[in-house]
Chain A
């Protein structure tokens, strides 16, 4: 009788133990997934919108054609919300970097970074196609 009761208690204890282990797993899993996706997808969307706005009248292609990197940096600073750090790299259609100076407003160090690759076609009569990589992070 005693042995039987002890056996039932063991089973309950084992259940409790399993419950504790699994609840810790569940809590920690939800902890890690919550933050990441929301912030980066918003940031990528904001970055893409900024590039598209700049490209809608051909300004983006014109800045790149003329190598006006500082103008491009200033315009992007105006288009992106405050508190967003960006770093833009321009490649030709064979993925060779063509911007001769940094197009950035800060350092991307320990933040979560959103990255966008945008194909920009210049409206110039001589067809030029660029791949623009914009990396963004929120200042913390």
Chain B
């Protein structure tokens, strides 16, 4: 009898193994499904996007920092503001990037034109005015196996070009000017334009009493016209412009009889 029982046990133990395996498989599957569902309910936060997007985002930030510095320097601020702004931006990136996955560094341009990365050329009497800032950046990415370095430069330039002449009008003169505004070499719009003319060595603002009219053609070209009372010879005119980014630039031009 005992022998028979042992035989039956031995025969069914293999089937039992399969049944047990099936039970374990079901257990694993249900546990995984449960864990998956539970983890789905909690708001899992992830941050992953293409590296190219990330680089563009950093470039955008550095570009805005240079614009901010130029707006400051061109409105009477110190030229060292560029380096100071970029230093703060690099610090912010360092504090956000606790694991040191990337590193942003910069150098401001110093050459014949640029000092501390800023160039303001406003005294040209041929009608060209330039406000510009230039900085070089290096962005290093530290991967597990390799290190990638990306270098780029940001140059922000607001420029105006003036051309003008005057025509006699009775005892006075009508001064006509064309002012072109550029951002990074492309036509751009101005936020405001102020016109001055020289009388006895000092600059006088042209206003409604001078029948000042400024026509915006919408393509970065502005036609300026105003009248002045009798004065002999050429008329010195200075035009001051703030572009839409708040960057200030001015240029002077000598208007001769047409």
Residues on A facing B (Cβ under 8 Å): 6, 9-10, 13-14, 16-18, 20-21, 23-25, 27-29, 31-32, 36-37, 40-41, 44-45, 48-49, 51-52, 55-56, 58, 61, 93, 95, 108-129, 131, 135, 137
Known contacts A9-B14, A31-B36: A24-B92 contact under CB 8 Å: no
The answer to the question of B228 belonging to the interface, with a C-beta cut-off of 8 Å to chain A, is: no
| B50 within 8 Å of A (CB atoms) | yes
- Residue among B18, B32, B72, B84 making CB contact with A13, cutoff 8 Å: B18
Interface string of B221-250 (1 = CB under 8 A from A): 000000000000000000000000110000
CA distance A37 to B76 in the complex (A): 50
Which residues of B line the A interface, CB within 8 A?
A: 10, 14-15, 17-18, 20-22, 24-26, 28-29, 32-33, 35-36, 40-50, 53-54, 56-58, 60-62, 64-65, 67-69, 71-72, 75, 77, 81, 84-85, 88-89, 91-93, 95-96, 245-246
**B46 touching A44, Cβ below 8 Å:** yes
Determine if A55 and B60 form an interchain contact, defined as CB atoms under 8 angstroms apart. yes
Cβ contact within 8 Å between B10 and A129: no
Residues in B whose Cβ lies below 8 Å from that of A61: 64
Residues of B within 8 A of A32 (CB): 32, 35-36
By a CB distance below 8 angstroms, the chain B residues around A9 are: 14
Contacts between the two chains (Cβ within 8 Å), count: 163
B36 A118 Cβ-Cβ under 8 A: no
| Complex CA distance for A31 and B30, rounded to whole angstroms | 12
Residue B43 contacts which of A49, A52, A95, A109 (CB distance < 8 angstroms)?
A109
Given A6-B10, A40-B46, A121-B64, A16-B21 contact (CB < 8 Å): yes
Q: Determine whether the beta carbon of B18 is less than 8 Å from that of A131.
A: no
Question: B86: shortest Cβ distance to chain A, in Å?
Answer: 9
Chain A nearest CB, measured from B245 CB (Å): 5
* Cα distance A21–B62 in the bound complex, in angstroms: 55
- Decide if A123 touches B64 in the complex (CB within 8 Å): yes
A48 and B53 within 8 A (CB): yes
CA distance A10 to B35 in the complex (A): 34
For residue A97, give the distance in angstroms from its CB to the closest CB of chain B. Answer: 15
Q: A121–B89 contact, CB under 8 A?
A: yes
**Complex Cα gap A126–B65 (Å):** 10
Given contacts A40-B48, A112-B44, A129-B88, contact A118 B14 (CB under 8 A): no
Specify the chain A residue showing the minimal Cβ separation from B72: A125
18 A/B residue pairs, CB under 8 Å, sorted by A: A17-B18, A25-B28, A27-B29, A37-B48, A41-B48, A41-B49, A45-B49, A45-B53, A48-B57, A55-B61, A93-B91, A93-B95, A113-B43, A119-B92, A123-B64, A124-B68, A127-B81, A129-B92
